[in-house]
Chains A and B, each alone.
Chain A
Amino acid sequence: MIAVNGAGHGPEALKRVMEKENLPWRSFADEKREIVSKWNLSGTPTFYAIDHAGVIRHKWVGAPGEAALDLALEKLVGEAEDAARTETKK
């Protein structure tokens, strides 16, 4: 998972926030709000599930719950593995 923080922090401020909240992943520090502006962020959390080919496959505005996220990601990971297997066979 990679994250985009929507609060307009620079890297140092974001690092402090993430250490305080104990968040282990990498997050974009969108200081000038260019990313959230381009992606038209209306509220957090907003999730996009992107497959191995870079295509948006799911979008959730709001928290859909871990089960929904896990289910969707499992399916996409399965597809990615199938694709990798097909490639190595070629």
Chain B
Amino acid sequence: MQRTTRGMLAFLYALAGAPAAIAAQDGPPSPAERYDSILAEYQAESGAFRKAATDEERKSAVERLDAFALRFLELLEDHPKDPIALEAALQTIRVVNSVDSLTELTWVMNETAFPEGSRGEPVGRVVAFLRRDHLRSEKIGPICQRMSYGPRREYEAFLRSVLHTNPHPDVRGLACLALAQLLNGRLLKLDLVRDRPELAGRVERLFGLDRDETLRKRDRAEAARDVERFFEKAESEYRDVALPYGGTVGERARSELFELRHLAVGKAAPEIVGVDQEGRRLELGDYRGRVVLLDFWQEL
């Protein structure tokens, strides 16, 4: 691993131009250089899960990825005023989300060995940094968008604060959409564990949810209306705010509202018309009269 890392660093410096690289190697790496090297190592490591063939290999791949959250976090805590700190915060969140998602995948794929999931500490600390130094910043839109992915309560609290106090409509628009998606994601995750109490404990620990939430003491219909209200707010007040990955908040909110209102339990399934893997015509309506399990899937 060490040899690979040094090889990688040499390659990056060569791109930058030799004289600059030599000067950089005289002293300690700058925050930006430190960031680049952590990112390069992380990117090299991220293919490991897909290549893993055993439970132990998958667990180990996830745990190695998790270590990067702490490295990005330490960088931003060492240099909180440097512009790179915000980039490092985004990467911390990106790594945590990725580790959480792969952890959940191992719950399905593994039988003997399970990673613990991203330790809560990086999440708490990165959100504390953002809250302290960037709550009103015009640059935290993309970070807010990334917080839609995991139903962590630190993310929820932060997004609510941004929605209330950030003076930039573009940022508030992304936070509003992300909050709606986070709350919706939490609801759906709880639906998933409803029939599997043994999974409830794991989900609670991973996302810091309360026992009463996992036991659904809170009314689901009320929680769903909350979600709908935030999507409606995003659609009406922040319609034209651009999303980091293309499209607008309004467009995304409208898709989410369509799903909430029409692709929900109790609704008639919309028609699907297309072709199958043999090129033959396939329609969902062909199966009327029979029970259908519709499986949206993707190869790893």
List residues of B (236-262) whose CB comes within 8 Å of A's CBs. 255-256, 258-259
Q: Are B195 and A64 in contact (CB under 8 A)?
A: yes
The listed residue (B108, B268, B278, B290) touching A15 by CB distance below 8 A is B278
Question: How many residues of B are in contact with the other chain, CB < 8 A?
Answer: 47
User: Which of these binds chain A: B78-86, B130-138, B217-225, B291-299?
Assistant: B291-299
User: Which of these binds chain A: B29-37, B66-74, B280-288?
Assistant: B280-288
Taken together as a complex, chains A and B put the C-alpha atoms of A25 and B185 apart, in Å, by 29
Q: B275 an interface residue at 8 Å Cβ cutoff?
A: yes
- B285: chain A residues at CB < 8 Å are 54
Q: B17 an interface residue at 8 Å Cβ cutoff?
A: no
Q: Are B291 and A3 in contact (CB under 8 A)?
A: no
**CB-CB under 8 A for A4 and B297, given A11-B275, A39-B263, A58-B265:** yes
Taken together as a complex, chains A and B put the C-alpha atoms of A49 and B181 apart, in Å, by 23
Q: Are B282 and A28 in contact (CB under 8 A)?
A: yes
Q: B277 an interface residue at 8 Å Cβ cutoff?
A: yes
Q: Are A60 and B192 in contact (CB under 8 A)?
A: yes
Q: Are B196 and A68 in contact (CB under 8 A)?
A: yes
- A5: chain B residues at CB < 8 Å are 297-298
Q: Are A62 and B269 in contact (CB under 8 A)?
A: no
- B298: chain A residues at CB < 8 Å are 5-7, 44-45
Q: Are A68 and B195 in contact (CB under 8 A)?
A: yes
List residues of B (26-85) whose CB comes within 8 Å of A's CBs. none
The listed residue (B108, B191, B290, B293) touching A52 by CB distance below 8 A is B290
**CB-CB under 8 A for A56 and B276, given A36-B296, A61-B189, A64-B195:** no
- A17: chain B residues at CB < 8 Å are 299
Q: Are B296 and A4 in contact (CB under 8 A)?
A: yes
- Which one of B192, B277, B287, B297 has the greatest number of beta carbons of chain A within 10 Å? B277
A34 — nearest CB in chain B belongs to which residue?
B274
* Smallest CB separation, A39 vs chain B (Å): 6
Q: Are A76 and B189 in contact (CB under 8 A)?
A: no
- A39: chain B residues at CB < 8 Å are 259, 263, 270, 296
Q: B154 an interface residue at 8 Å Cβ cutoff?
A: no
Q: Are A2 and B267 in contact (CB under 8 A)?
A: no
Taken together as a complex, chains A and B put the C-alpha atoms of A18 and B279 apart, in Å, by 13
Q: Are B294 and A54 in contact (CB under 8 A)?
A: no
Q: Are B269 and A50 in contact (CB under 8 A)?
A: yes
A-B contact pairs, 7 of them (CB 8 A): A2-B294, A12-B279, A15-B277, A29-B274, A48-B294, A59-B263, A60-B188
Q: Mark B residues whose CB is within 8 Å of A.
A: 104, 108, 181, 185, 188-189, 191-192, 195-196, 199, 255-256, 258-259, 263-270, 272, 274-280, 282, 284-285, 287-299
Please list the 7 inter-chain residue pairs (A to B) with the smallest Cβ-Cβ separation, ordered nearest first.
Answer: A40-B259, A61-B188, A15-B277, A46-B296, A44-B298, A1-B293, A48-B294
